[in-house]
Structure 1
Amino acid sequence: MALTIMRCGEDSNLLTETKKFTSIFDSNQFSEGFSPIDIQQTADGGYVVLGESRLIGTQLTGVYLLKADKYGNFVKFVDADTLNNPVARLSKVADKYYFFCVKNKGTDVHLASFDENLDNFTTTPLGFVNPAASLAIDQGLLLYSVDINGKQSIISLIGLDGSTIKQKGYTIGDGDDSEKPLSEHFLKTGKQFPFDVGMVSPGVYYFNGFYDYTFSLIFTDINGDEPIGIISGQQDDGGFSALTPLSSSKYAAARYNFGDNYFLPNTQIVATENRPGIDLGGLSLPELISETKVKILRSVVKEKNVLIYAADTQTRQIGLYFYDEATGAFIGSKYLGFSNPFTIGNLINTEDGGIAVCGTTYLAGRFPRISIFKLSKEEVASNVK
């Protein structure tokens, strides 16, 4: 496979090109497809993308890693097709990068790690199945996984060496009502759920996943046999599509309900309460595609704490929506994408005060390729009131 790159920039000034560029990473094999899951900036100012590659003869995906330099130029890739179904997030701890996946088209969870040059690649089996979402915290790596046969949603705290520090499982319920959509998610033959996991405060964690037949937000201390709080969804037709804790009871969130999308940039949730998520309401965005993927980034723009929501629009662009973190007020928007369709992967703050957005674009409307939009600090600020 040969990779080529298509870049867009405003001028040839090297300093400017590190602040602002658009790169699309193409392949000469049209049958191949690549989509990003997460992105991190490296110590040399470049970027590492965790992606997935399309495999022939199966709906499962292979692990695909891409390194770009600070100008958005292609440096290196690793196509690890013996590893499958990588999940967000790509976590950076010290000088190494970590993510979870399965191996050899199976279901067993493996912890993978590598350095910023995509070298020193290692995998460690963990002894349980179906990784769904992860997050690095001070104590290690949080992991949400699903044991469909055992009928449990499982939240684990994993050491960087692959050891299980603590773990707790909660029932997903018996029968096809929960098993069928979960099987289709992991086999990639049906709806892809916005699974997530995180920490609210020391000792209080959450996962966005299945509990008692319903896609719900579950709070836990990873000790008790029952959740400490439940924000229930609408079986598999409604729930949270993104969640970012801002304090112990204040969140930036997004949810979906029977195809509609709602943003909640300033909502109160108590970790010990039980309530239906539909009661939280939210700001309706008809311009987004049905049940869009949503990513939320906390950033600082014009010396103001800002929330940046990223989602897929019906015009096949990536929409960026800016909200004042203190008040939840809408303060601006920007749309990324041009002649080809684009969809969101994730977005990050960059060391120069800008942001980087990774996404999927579709060449000729149907060949998925990885793209990176680098927005300068000034460009981001120009979109905020």
Structure 2
Amino acid sequence: MNINLHNKIGFLILILMVSACDISDNKDVNPATSFLKIYDSHQFDHAISAVDILQTEGEGFLLLGNYRRDDTNFLGTYIASIDDQGEFIRNTYMRDDNVHPVGQILTLGGSHYFVSMDAIGLQAYLNQVDDSARVVSTISLGVTYPLYAENDGSDQFILLSYNSTNKTTVLSTMSADGSVGGQSEFGIGAGQAVEEPIIDHFTRTGRSLPFFAGRASNGLYYLNGFYNYTLSLLFSDLSDNNPTGVVQGQQDEGGVSSLLSMDGGQFAISRFNFGDNYSNAMTTLSTSGTIAASDIESNPMLEWEVGAVVKMESIALGDSDYVIMATTTKNQQIVLHLFDSTTGEYVAVHYLGFSNPYQLGALEITVDNGLAVLGTTQVAGKFQRLCLFKVSEEELLDLL
């Protein structure tokens, strides 16, 4: 008992020190534009990981995370509310069968939602959450094993999921009441070995895989999921169960790790291949044929950690547009790479994190044209907590 108390006291002191020093080096810095915060838990042995972040209308933030539970093989659901200066307001640990939250946090009709899963029935849930991190309502969706969610306009969203009965990767468009607008299913191939990486992703007994979905500038939907035995990037108009285009990976050992659709049919892309990482901030992908991900011309990113989350956003700085590509380095810092979005030229790099190890979780362009970076950190080598970096527009301009 004394050991636990001492650990907790030491941890709280460290948190106060980090919070106190995050802007002390520059008294002119507005605490709402630039800060680093690390968030404690009332359960000191909770291991919390970052999933997504959303800035609310009051310019505070909703943080979505997960935490290890001892009563299920799946990760529990955690939501926190933060004010505009990064100060903690309140949080919610969901204790029922509502588990496995996935990004992104959605905004539909002015309200905020996130997708999760029932630990028993495995069906997807759509949860409405208010700005104080309270879950307002939960409805069941007609799919199982949710993998990713993304806004698709103001009144519907895109949901990527897995159907273990039919052995298919499913892409759906849905509204806030759970009604389906369009849906296609893509076969993953026969055999238990094909499904194993997907199930391991859910139970965290294997590698966390880069599942995502969205809509390209040409109107086609895209998804990164298993198809024909391989983790592949698919393009589809949702008219049938055949993709219009395929960027094929190497089983679960290679493929696309992130994608950003830009105007003119251009994409920013990152990919991985047997432990190596690559990036290209401006490339053309065929959305009507089949190519190998390994054939996409790209630059090796030698400092990126194997299997780390990669996130990308577009941002206007000064008179130019840029792509921000972020991930975790091998020495456990969060790295931001800036590229000119019209030429793909590498412009600048910036590192976040010191003293403790940090891993990237999610990015959000803020209303003041700064950057909110949600991550996970390990304090004193034993306490896994959420952290939030706020990088101001001025700091980003200084990098240029």
Using the alignment, how far apart are the partners of 1:137 and 1:32 within structure 2? 34
Q: CA deviation at 1:366?
A: 3.1
For the pair 1:247 / 2:237, whether they are aligned, the reply is: no
The aligned counterpart of 2:3 is none
Q: Is the 8 A contact 2:218 2:265 kept in 1?
A: no
Q: Is the 8 A contact 1:359 1:372 kept in 2?
A: yes
Identify the match of residue 47 of structure 1 among 52, 61, 72: 61
The aligned counterpart of 2:129 is 114
Identify the match of residue 60 of structure 1 among 64, 69, 74: 74
SS in 2 for 1:19: coil
The aligned counterpart of 1:194 is 210
Alignment of 1:290-301 (within 5 A): 290-301=306-317
The aligned counterpart of 1:134 is 149
Change (3 A) 1:192 1:78: same
The aligned counterpart of 2:5 is none
Using the alignment, how far apart are the partners of 1:14 and 1:94 within structure 2? 38
Using the alignment, how far apart are the partners of 1:376 and 1:94 within structure 2? 29
Change (3 A) 1:231 1:31: same
For the pair 1:355 / 2:363, whether they are aligned, the reply is: no
The gaps in structure 2 that reach 5 residues or longer are: 1-7
SS in 2 for 1:186: helix
Q: CA deviation at 1:59?
A: 3.6
Using the alignment, how far apart are the partners of 2:384 and 2:121 within structure 1? 24
Identify the match of residue 186 of structure 2 among 160, 170, 175: 170
Identify the match of residue 33 of structure 2 among 19, 35, 38: 19
Q: Is the 8 A contact 1:11 1:17 kept in 2?
A: no
Does 5-14 or 285-294 show the bigger shift? 5-14
Using the alignment, how far apart are the partners of 2:202 and 2:217 within structure 1? 30
Q: CA deviation at 1:93?
A: 2.9
Summarize deviations over 1:98-125 as a string: whole Å, max 9, x none.
Answer: 1111124541111111122224521110
Number of residue pairs matched? 384
For 2:267, the aligned partner's letter is Y
Using the alignment, how far apart are the partners of 1:333 and 1:201 within structure 2? 27
Does 50-59 or 124-133 show the bigger shift? 50-59
Q: Is the 8 A contact 2:23 2:29 kept in 1?
A: no
Q: CA deviation at 1:27?
A: 2.0
For 2:113, the aligned partner's letter is Y
Change (3 A) 1:234 1:128: same
Summarize deviations over 1:211-232 as a string: whole Å, max 9, x none.
Answer: 0100000111111231111110
Alignment of 1:238-277 (within 5 A): 238-247=254-263, 249-277=265-293
Summarize deviations over 1:121-162 as a string: whole Å, max 9, x none.
Answer: 211101220000111111511001011231100000011111
Change (3 A) 1:360 1:248: same
**TM-score (norm: length of structure 2):** 0.92
SS in 1 for 2:202: helix
SS in 2 for 1:81: strand
The gaps in structure 1 that reach 5 residues or longer are: none
SS in 2 for 1:169: strand
Using the alignment, how far apart are the partners of 1:15 and 1:67 within structure 2? 23
**TM-score (norm: length of structure 1):** 0.95
Change (3 A) 1:105 1:312: farther
SS in 1 for 2:399: coil
Q: CA deviation at 1:45?
A: 1.4
Change (3 A) 1:104 1:214: closer
SS in 2 for 1:347: strand
For the pair 1:38 / 2:73, whether they are aligned, the reply is: no
Summarize deviations over 1:316-347 as a string: whole Å, max 9, x none.
Answer: 10011000000010100111111110000111
Using the alignment, how far apart are the partners of 1:131 and 1:179 within structure 2? 15
Does 140-149 or 202-211 show the bigger shift? 202-211
Using the alignment, how far apart are the partners of 2:132 and 2:307 within structure 1? 36
The aligned counterpart of 2:246 is 230
Q: CA deviation at 1:367?
A: 2.2
Summarize deviations over 1:153-186 as a string: whole Å, max 9, x none.
Answer: 0000011111112211110100033111111112
Q: CA deviation at 1:248?
A: 5.3
Structure with the bigger percentage of strand: 1
Does 332-341 or 49-58 show the bigger shift? 49-58
Q: Is the 8 A contact 2:217 2:261 kept in 1?
A: no
